[in-house]
């Protein structure tokens, strides 16, 4: 009886873990990924440089 009970508990535990991992994949967070302050500044600098390059090309 005890052996059968232990086996059933371990199987249930494994199934529960697999199910929770599956649920996590399906229900990912809708929050945007965190971007650090330095990274945001770098991205904005790149965008400014890109617009300056495009405007200088249009002048030619």
**Looking at the whole model, is its pTM more than 0.75?**
no
How far from the centroid of its chain's Cα atoms is residue 32's Cα? 8
2 occurs within a structural domain: no
Give the pLDDT confidence of 41-53 residue by residue, as tens digits. Answer: 999 999 999 888 8
25 occurs within a structural domain: no
The pLDDT of residue 60 is above 70:
no
Q: How many domains does the chain have?
A: 1
Q: Output 14 or 28, whichever has higher pLDDT.
A: 14
The pLDDT of residue 54 is above 70:
yes
Domain ranges, residue 57 = 35-60
DSSP collapsed to 3 states, the chain: CHHHHHHHHHHHHHHHHHHHHHHHHHCCCCCCCCCCHHHHHHHHHHHHHHHHHHHHHHHC
């Amino acid at each position: 009886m005890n052996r059968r009970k232990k086996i059933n508990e371990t199987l249930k535990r494994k199934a529960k873990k697999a199910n929770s991992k599956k649920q996590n994949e399906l229900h990912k967070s809708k929050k945007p990924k965190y971007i650090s302050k330095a990274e945001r500044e770098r991205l904005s600098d790149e965008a400014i440089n890109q617009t300056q390059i495009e405007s200088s090309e249009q002048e030619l």
